[in-house]
Structure 1
């Protein structure tokens, strides 16, 4: 085990758990294979990477991540209303269904149906975790210079 602190240009092997304040798990690797990522490779949102900076192999910490540092606040202008006929006839349109749209740059943009009323379908383009405070638990297993092969 080395003493290299996590920083840009390091590859990190870790276990993590992302949970809601009530303890419900969103995603976790504990009990499975650990995750390996390079700092700055966009596998982890930059704000989450910031919590890892300076940690070393063997560290085990839990951080409370407010919405501003996680997936942002819920934004009412990210709710959009479409007409029923704008969707294909065989598409299931009910609350909770995730639909993939293309944004102006043809990037995939998922939306969740939040309301279906008559001919109107309301779609929420906020991140599903927007507005939530999250608990981010990490156990650092190994830190090594990026690009190093075993």
Structure 2
């Protein structure tokens, strides 16, 4: 059964690393236990799952992921400017600080302060990895039919 390729309806056990093209590791588990996920369960973004399709147990690969296949391009409309008084007085407002907002549906929306100038606070709601080319290293440990219990 080791020949089963990764596809919808499979459970995959893998090691992975997500890196900047500089080699700096953003996330990964090569130094930990392998992760198990079901294709389509949204553990991995669909664009990243696409790279795994057809791989089999024992396969290793390294993919260069352009922004459009990763976390998207940066969108200038996702930069919002607020007035200083719109934040609580004791809040630290400086570039790089992450703030959590609630959107219209009360879902959490993280933003990072990109600029503070006078009474203006600019917040960037782009995904922190947007606009970046990433390296996705993966090693498939096992592929099984989904729903199979050990």
Q: TM (normalized to structure 1)?
A: 0.97
Unaligned stretches of 5+ residues in structure 1 = none
Cα deviation digits, residues 92-134 of structure 1 (max 9, x gap): 1111011111112211110000001111110000000000000
Long gaps (5+) in structure 2: none
Q: How many residues align?
A: 150
Tell me the residue number matched to 2:84.
Answer: 84
Q: Deviations over 1:47-69 (max 9, x none)?
A: 00000001010000000000000
SS at match of 1:50: helix
Cα distance between partner residues in 2 of 1:35 and 1:109 = 27
What corresponds to 1:37 in structure 2? 37
TM-score, scaled to structure 2:
0.97
What residue is the counterpart of 2:13 in the other structure? 13
Q: Which residue of 1 aligns with 2:138?
A: 138
Deviation of residue 148 (structure 1)? Answer: 1.2
Question: How large is the RMSD of aligned CA atoms in angstroms?
Answer: 0.9
Could you list the structure 1 runs, at least 4 aligned residues long, displaced by more than 4 angstroms after superposition.
none
